[in-house]
């Protein structure tokens, strides 16, 4: 197993969580078996477009938040 897969944040979609501390982001996987794939993930903490984050796995994807 690898230490992680770098992914670049392409778009910030929404805030979620009880206190709004979780961001839902679209990120493009930069290396690994799913290289080039764009996936939706939940990220905790301050993020901005263009940041590179490290994902421990690339096969799971977050469910999209529906606004009321």
For 4-17, the pLDDT digits (tens) are: 999 999 999 999 88
| Res 2: pLDDT | 63
| Res 66: pLDDT | 78
| Residues 12-35: tens digit of each pLDDT | 999 988 998 999 999 999 999 999
What is this structure's pTM?
0.85
- Which own/partner contact pairs does 24-28 have at CB distance under 8 Å and 24+ positions apart? 24/62, 24/64, 24/65, 27/53, 27/55
The CA-atom distances, in angstroms, between 65 and each of 15, 28, 35, 42, 60 are 9, 19, 25, 11, 16
CATH topology of domain 5-55: OB fold (Dihydrolipoamide Acetyltransferase, E2P) (2.40.50)
């Amino acid at each position: 197993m690898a230490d992680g897969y770098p992914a670049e944040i392409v778009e910030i979609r929404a805030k979620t969580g009880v206190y709004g501390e979780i961001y839902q982001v679209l990120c493009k996987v930069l290396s690994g078996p799913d290289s080039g794939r764009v996936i939706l993930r939940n990220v905790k903490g301050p993020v901005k477009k263009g940041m590179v984050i490290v994902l421990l796995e690339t096969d799971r994807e977050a469910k999209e938040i529906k606004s009321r």
